[in-house]
Amino acid sequence: MWPILGHEFGHVLGFGHEHQRDDRDKHILFNCDKVLGYQQSLAKLMTSGRPLSQQLAHDLLCNDWRTALSIGSTLNAFVYWPTQRMFGSFDKDSIMHYGSEGFSDKRLCTPSTPSGCPITTLNGEYIWPKMKVSAGDAQAAREMYPWREPALPGPARGK
């Protein structure tokens, strides 16, 4: 439960998901069709009245945040977001990075069967959930919320 709280507190601070950065494909594999609810979302998009091939519907659902958001898909937690690349390089250790099992069918996505997972390393390995804030998370927080000494008069500061 604590890692989830840390992750959600990151959102409160203004952090986005690390795995939604526009450069994420250089660092992880996103297997869109392994996200729980993919088939239902694809069917919903295919019957939305827009003339789409299955491939185009898949591409929109897996890569376009507006499409995923408009149909209420859980894929919205994975697709690229335009504002996700705020600080530094990709941080594989960020508490804001989903582990492989995030939004997966837990029967198909396990450390021994990472091919059933929505997110893996580039070489197809399982990504463990993050249990703590990374050094990159801490640095980003310092950049977003820099500490400044209070502007107190001299005597109150011990002078």
**What's the predicted TM-score (pTM) here?**
0.83
What single-letter DSSP state applies at residue 101? T
Of 2-11, 32-41, 56-65, 121-130, the one with minimum mean pLDDT is 2-11
Q: Which residue is it, tokens 């149909």?
A: 71
Say which amino acid occupies 115. Answer: S
Q: Residue 88: what pLDDT? A: 83
Query: Would you name the residues annotated as active-site residues?
Result: 8
Binding-site annotation: residue ranges for Zn(2+): 7, 11, 17
How far is 51 from 72, CA to CA, in rounded Å?
19
Spell out the domains of the chain, with CATH numbers in brackets: 2-143 (3.40.390.10)
Q: Which residues are annotated as a binding site?
A: 7, 11, 17
pLDDT in tens, 18-45: 999 988 999 999 999 999 999 999 999 9
Given a cut of 60, is residue 159 above it in pLDDT?
Answer: no
pLDDT of residue 157: 55
- Identify the residue whose tokens are 């694809």: 42
pLDDT at 85: 60
DSSP symbol at 99: P
